[in-house]
A and B are shown apart, each in its own frame.
Chain A
Amino acid sequence: MSGLSISRRGLLAGVSALGASAALSACGAKTGSDTSSGAGAKADTSGDTVKVGLLNSLSGTMAISEVTVHNALLLAVKEINAAGGVLGKKLKPISQDGASDWPTFAEKAQTLITDDKVVATFGCWTSASRKAVKPVFERSKSLLFYPVQYEGLEQSPYIFYTGATTNQQIVPALDYLKKQGLTKLYLVGSDYVFPRTANKEIRAYAKANGMDVVGEDYAPLGSTEFSTIVNKVKDAGADAVFNTLNGDSNVAFFKEYKSAGLTAKSLPVLSVSIAEEEVKSIGTQYLEGQLTAWNYYQTTPGAANEKFVKAYQAAYGKDKPTSDPMEAAYISVYLWKEMVEKAGSFDVAKVKAASDGITFDAPEGKVTVDGATQHVYKTARIGKVGSDGLIEEVWNSGKPIKPDPYLKGYSWASGLS
């Protein structure tokens, strides 16, 4: 099923690219021939350095989150270069600004691949941006490392997913709420692919587990007016709110939530897109005691994490927190390095073939790449926002959970994909 849709999507993108290059016949032969031949761009590995692409929103509504991921990627590249590079070659990071705009992401991805001839690209945050660049990477047979938790139900042969898929974040979060006896849920999310899909999965889970979804609301991405949604939440008689809002909207939502007299005690909110950096910009006074679901916190114990936090703060400022997507971005560069070294080559097919079983002693604990799904085994962790703005872990899954992007191992999810 998925293979068919991918090739159809690739075909469509190819056709539209052909149309575009025909229409803009004056725009230069290089781009035209690269995209229309479908053979993919050749990464340039001839010199002493190889280029890696960093594709993040450095401006726009998503910049609040994506700049930190960009910083973490740069840190990993710098560390790897200081330790001698990859296969004896230094990495040269090429940054492109996706500007929180999905078509721009696709355009910049193409620029990285065809003009800069990067060996791999790291980045994207929203699922919408990932869906926008997916056909570009597939058509060009180039690799993208995607570092953010997402809604699952995807498995592109040219993307490695180093953030959590549904069964490593949302499902454990629901298990946790159920265990706490919080069974009536209100779903609030931004109106795009991740919250819509995640909420479909939450509804399926709830139905199979005797939980109730008492309301579901979406706000346009970037929306800052939440008084009505908060009123609806208040009137619905829920036990907990499951929050999949993204970016700036969280600030307005939590300010409204507190003004309406709702607290973590009276009606807890479990968020899947709020990490340490967001806590800081929303304001600890609005978030204290609320729950989050991730695989990593700045407070996660272990020597690898101590080293990561120290290095990050040395590079970007003492008061800068580290967060899950940053950590997933940081390890994505290292995982790619391990794959390349195991393969002994920068060649995409060889790197993919070498990926299975690659492990890395990550700040979140040991992670292992699952070659079949191109996802990563990760430990799920539920945390609570403390008064210092950091997140304290209150529960974890004990061991890394095998990634299951299509939720094949869960009977309730059978109707989803």
Chain B
Amino acid sequence: MTVILNQSFTGISIGAVLLLIALGLTLTFGQMGVINMAHGEFIMAGAYTTYVLQKSISSAGLSLLVALPLAFLVAGAMGALLEWLLIRRLYTRPLDTLLVTWGVSLMLQQLARDIFGAPNVQTHAPDLLIGNVSVAGVTLANNRLFILGLALLCVLGLTLILRLTSLGRRIRAVVQNRDLAEVSGIATERVDRTTFFIGSGLAGVAGVALTLVGPIGPTMGTNYIVDAFLVVVVGGIGQLKGSVITAFGLGVLQSVLEYSTTVSVAKVVVLVAIVAFLQWRPQGLYTLRTRSLA
């Protein structure tokens, strides 16, 4: 029983990491249809922001708190710049976007290598986030709880923005029917850039969270990007709800399978399950009902 509970928590915490990364992709890939291969490098930018901050703010806890909004701004600005320089010229050519952003991803990795060096760097986690708490025999790692909380907070924030603000309304309008939104007087280009800013910024926040669990290096983003795309595709393009359910579902499935088999077998089973699922429901868990023909 303890094993099952332990593995469920492990799965949920894996899901939280996936969710944090997939949230930004849900916006950029899901809502705008841009396959942004450089999303992983925005994660990296967020992680390096934490690293740089820790050089000037010695308190690990404080620097982590400052890093969260700062990483959002840094990664968001990089995303907006990328959108303005390249992606907006390629909106109707998804395959070209894929290649271009992949190239950008490689360039950003090399840039990080030139600035920070090829070896990984380390940040100090606040003492509070290093230990764990035991609840009914289940070990809950503090850093994982923190990431889970952060992921849920981001989902909540994003939902509120999309539901309640005028920006959110504009974003939804553009997603549902770009042409109609445009003739209604919405500056779709500016909405696109803002959406990209938020989506990339969320990747930066994910990067800060990842400094607590994984390596910080030029290629760290590539470790997660494929899984994050899977979450978005299975969840249903552009559906927050779908991404949340899928991230936690895949996390739990992966960790339960992994416990009884091996990492590789679990990965294979999960991938096969995803392919089978998409055969049955190519549109993903949830779909957007829209009258646009696209």
- A residues within 8 Å of B by Cβ? 58-61, 63-65, 67-68, 191, 217-220, 222-225, 227-229, 231-232, 234-235, 248, 251-252, 255-256, 258-261, 277, 280-283, 285
Contact = CB atoms under 8 A, between A and B. Distances in A.
Given A224-B215, A231-B7, A232-B259, A281 B121 contact: yes
Which of B13, B119, B264, B267 has the most chain A CB within a 10 Å cutoff?
B119
A223 B263 contact: yes
A21 to B, nearest CB: 29
Contacts of A224: 213-215, 220, 223-224
A116 B217 CA distance: 32
A58 B118 CA distance: 7
Nearest to B117: A67
A258 B142 CA distance: 11
A76 B248 CA distance: 52
Interface of B: 3, 6-7, 10, 13-14, 17, 109-110, 113, 117-125, 130-132, 139, 141-144, 212-220, 223-224, 254-255, 258-259, 262-264, 267
A252 B263 contact: no
Contact of A68 (B119, B121, B131): B119
A191 B218 CA distance: 22
Instruction: Please name the 4 residue pairs, one residue from A and one from B, whose CB atoms are nearest each other, closest first.
Output: A259-B141, A251-B215, A281-B120, A63-B118
Given A231-B7, A235-B3, A280 B122 contact: yes
A219 B263 contact: yes
Contacts, number: 123
27 contacts: A60-B219, A64-B118, A64-B120, A64-B217, A65-B119, A67-B117, A67-B119, A217-B262, A218-B262, A220-B264, A224-B213, A224-B214, A224-B224, A227-B14, A231-B10, A232-B259, A235-B3, A251-B122, A255-B213, A259-B132, A260-B139, A277-B119, A281-B119, A281-B122, A281-B215, A282-B122, A283-B124
Given A59-B110, A224-B223, A251-B215, A191 B119 contact: no
A248 B215 contact: yes
A281 B116 CA distance: 12
B10 to A, nearest CB: 4
Given A218-B263, A232-B259, A261-B131, A227 B214 contact: no
Given A228-B255, A231-B259, A282-B120, 14 more contacts: A59-B109, A59-B118, A64-B120, A67-B118, A218-B262, A220-B263, A224-B215, A252-B213, A255-B212, A260-B139, A260-B141, A280-B122, A281-B217, A283-B123
